[in-house]
Amino acid sequence: MPDSKTKYIFVTGGVTSSLGKGIISASLAKLLQARGYSVTIQKLDPYINVDPGTLNPYEHGECYVTEDGAETDLDLGHYERFLDSKTSQANNVTTGRIYQHVINKEREGAFLGKTVQVIPHITDEIKRRIHLLGQTGKYDLVITEIGGTVGDIESLPYIEAVRQLKWDPEVHCLVIHLTLVPYLATSGELKTKPTQHSVKQLSESGVQADVLVLRTEHPIPEEVKHKVALFCNISKDAVIESANVETIYEVPIKMQEERLDEVVLNKFDLPTKAEPKITEWKSFLKRLKNPKHKVNIGLIGKYIELKDSYISINESLIHAGTVNETEVNIQWIHSESITKENVKELLGDLDGILVAPGFGERGIEGKIESVRFARENKVPFLGICLGMQCAVIEFARNVLSLENAHTAEIDPTSTDPVIYLMEDQKEITNKGGTMRLGAYACEISEGSLAEQSYKKSSITERHRHRFEFNNDYLKRFEAAGMYASGRNPEGGMVEIIECKDHPWFVGVQFHPEYSSTVLNPHPLFIDFIAVSAKDNLQ
Ligand code: GLN
């Protein structure tokens, strides 16, 4: 059942992939939110995986985790960072999930002997998922981003669902189509033909775009916009330019200048009187663009060829930098390249070292070497998930002299498994969606660095792991100077470790990067940058 109050905005893409539908969706949502509307964003992904949890980061970038424990597309991270509000499983739907649901229903006999087909059964399920967010009654507007590019075989059922919704008199919706206007340097011209073709392709599927957003590297003259409007059956004011900007956080400001929010509201006959209140956002941008200090942070990971693999960490460092009026210069360092012999040369100039999350053996010894370098040379250190586990292994090997210490993930036969499989993971054989996922509570010890950062003793943070600190070793660790400053109140699981006798050495089993937003940067990242930048302050 559609919710008659909620308006739906679909964002489709044409010409090429990677044009930034997620950022356009998040920017529009930001402007609408700043005008007082409640809005959320949903992503429909056309692949057959049930979720991106089983995907290698090289395939799909980071896997983002919501508070309710859904493993989702990285665009949901942008949505949360822009809107400063939480998303959930309902905000990310994949073709795999749609089919799984429909096939399960078929096995239950729910279709009463009917042939199950793409239209109407798959498209009905897509529409049901789109309406789920509207039906919560929480949102004036739901923006649904359709992954992929118009014309892909995979996205056809989604476009068909949009077509049906556009024809449903009970549903108020519109379509924003994002395309590319390439610039031909040889002739010095901006070319609109790919956009025309893409809009035509969309209309061949029965969907007329209502608003066009044109990605471009050069300003688009008015007459070119008029031409596009004429050829694409779009009103002139609804052809919006989206020129390249220095940072993604400028896009809402650009979209406001282009009146994207106003055009959308007018099309829905919604009031546009109140201008968006984005003062805080603008002051964030001002600080971002006018840093007073600089800091060099080494990000030690094994997927660094694709920076999207660590996008939430990257953004959290940027957010924390603005709080400290510091430009964060991230040095991406491949953990596989780090050895005992070259660690000083590779990490010697860094002001802070962050060891990234990850899975599997590749590059782990380089991560452990990096921790050792940070600990021994008193370089501020933040270890996240596998990064924290590496800090534990390093301490066991080099301080407790447990030479064979390891994580059972990599060496199941280690005589000193200081990191081992969580009890409730032991029976699990399926890989998808079976880790310890989502928000769990953590109690912080008094007087710890974590307490200084969070300024409270009870927190919740998001998780994505199977292995944990082996509490049989805790006493030995604490006696030697590494202590558990955060623990899960139920099972006593170690959530945060810190090193005494070090300016700032913090390892977290959870993922603070998932909850840092533009308006609420994460306290651990803020302090990590503050301490790292300390010597750089004038
Ligand atoms: N591979 C480790 C585990 O499963 C760490 C996971 C991570 O870094 N997200 O516990």
Torsion, CA 290, CA 31, CA 278, CA 137, rounded to 10: -130
Q: What are phi and psi of 59, to 5 degrees?
A: -75, -40
* b/e per residue 57-77 (b: at least 16 CB within 10 A): beebbbbbbbbebbbbbbbbb
Q: Would the pLDDT of 304 be above 90?
A: no
Q: Which of 467, 468, 513 to mutate to test the pocket of ligand 1 (most atoms within 8 A of CB)?
A: 467
Rounded Cα distance between 358 and 60, Å, is: 15
CA of 464 to the centre of ligand 1 (A): 7
Q: What are phi and psi of 185, to 5 degrees?
A: -65, -35
Ligand 1 atom nearest to CA at 357: 8
The number of CA neighbours under 13 Å toward the Cβ of 121 is 17
Name the average pLDDT for the chain.
95
| Residue 511 annotated in active site | yes
Rounded Cα distance between 30 and 141, Å, is: 12
Rounded Cα distance between 72 and 78, Å, is: 12
Rounded Cα distance between 333 and 331, Å, is: 6
Instruction: Take atom 3 of ligand 1 and give the residue whose Cα is closest.
Output: 465
Q: Would the pLDDT of 536 be above 80?
A: no
Please work out, in degrees rounded to the nearest 5, the angle formed at the alpha carbon of residue 398 by the alpha carbons of 396 and 400: 50
CA of 358 to the centre of ligand 1 (A): 6
Asked whether 44 and 177 are in contact (CB, 8 A), the reply is no
Q: Which of 464, 469, 495 to mutate to test the pocket of ligand 1 (most atoms within 8 A of CB)?
A: 464
| Residue 385 annotated in active site | yes
Asked whether 191 and 181 are in contact (CB, 8 A), the reply is yes
Q: What are phi and psi of 413, to 5 degrees?
A: -100, 5
pLDDT digits (tens, 9 = 90+) for 16-67: 888 899 999 999 999 999 999 999 999 999 999 998 998 888 888 999 999 9
Instruction: Take atom 5 of ligand 1 and give the residue whose Cα is closest.
Output: 386
Please give the C-alpha separations between residue 53 and each of 70, 223, 378, 408, 434, in angstroms, as whole numbers: 9, 46, 35, 21, 9
What is the separation of C-alpha 22 from the centre of its chain, rounded to a whole number of angstroms?
Answer: 10
CA of 466 to the centre of ligand 1 (A): 6
Per-residue pLDDT band for 538 (boundaries 50, 70, 90) equals very low
Which DSSP state fits 114?
A: P
Hey, what are 414's tokens? 């280690």
Residue 174: closest CA among 7, 3, 6, 9:
9
Hey, what are 449's tokens? 């660095």
Rounded Cα distance between 119 and 110, Å, is: 16
User: Using omega within 30 degrees of 0 as the cis cutoff, is the peptide bond preceding 120 cis?
Assistant: yes
Q: Which of 258, 327, 495, 513 is catalytic?
A: 513
Q: Would the pLDDT of 282 be above 50?
A: yes
Q: What is the DSSP string of 258-320?
A: TTHHHHHHHHTT----SPP--HHHHHHHHHHHS-SEEEEEEEEES-TTSGGGGHHHHHHHHHH
Residue 78: closest CA among 28, 119, 22, 12:
22
CA of 385 to the centre of ligand 1 (A): 6
By the 10 Å C-beta count (0-12 exposed, 13-18 middle, 19+ buried), 43 is classed as buried
Ligand 1 atom nearest to CA at 385: 8
pLDDT digits (tens, 9 = 90+) for 183-230: 999 998 999 999 999 999 999 999 999 999 999 999 999 999 999 999
pLDDT digits (tens, 9 = 90+) for 167-180: 999 999 999 999 99
To which H or E segment does residue 355 belong?
Answer: strand 352-355
Mean pLDDT of 82-94: 96
**Residue type present at position 175:** V
Rounded Cα distance between 530 and 300, Å, is: 19
pLDDT computed for residue 488 by the predictor = 97
Q: pLDDT: is 242 or 306 the higher one?
A: 242
Ligand 1 atom nearest to CA at 384: 8
pLDDT computed for residue 1 by the predictor = 52
Instruction: Take atom 1 of ligand 1 and give the residue whose Cα is closest.
Output: 359
Instruction: Indicate the pairing of strand 64-65 with strand 71-72.
Output: antiparallel
Q: Which of 232, 385, 390, 499 is catalytic?
A: 385
Q: Which of 367, 371, 385 to mutate to test the pocket of ligand 1 (most atoms within 8 A of CB)?
A: 385
Which DSSP state fits 455?
A: S
Q: What is the DSSP string of 118-156?
A: IIIIIHHHHHHHHHHHHHTS--SEEEEEE-S-TT-GGGH
Asked whether 174 and 210 are in contact (CB, 8 A), the reply is yes
**Residue type present at position 295:** V
Hey, what are 287's tokens? 């600080």
In sequence order, the 6+-apart residues with CB closer than 8 A to the CB of 230 are none
pLDDT computed for residue 4 by the predictor = 63
CA of 507 to the centre of ligand 1 (A): 13
Asked whether 281 and 518 are in contact (CB, 8 A), the reply is yes
Rounded Cα distance between 466 and 424, Å, is: 9
Asked whether 97 and 158 are in contact (CB, 8 A), the reply is no
pLDDT digits (tens, 9 = 90+) for 370-428: 999 999 999 999 999 999 999 999 999 999 999 999 999 999 999 999 999 998 888 88
CA of 436 to the centre of ligand 1 (A): 10
Residue 260: closest CA among 176, 182, 134:
176
Residue 469: closest CA among 520, 393, 371, 367:
393
User: Which residues form ligand 1's pocket by a CB distance below 6 Å?
Assistant: 357-359, 385-386, 409, 464-467
What does the radius of gyration of the chain's CA atoms come to, in whole angstroms?
25
Number of helical H runs and strand E runs in the chain: 18, 23
Asked whether 353 and 370 are in contact (CB, 8 A), the reply is yes
Instruction: Take atom 8 of ligand 1 and give the residue whose Cα is closest.
Output: 357
Q: Which of 172, 319, 465, 511 is catalytic?
A: 511
pLDDT computed for residue 171 by the predictor = 95
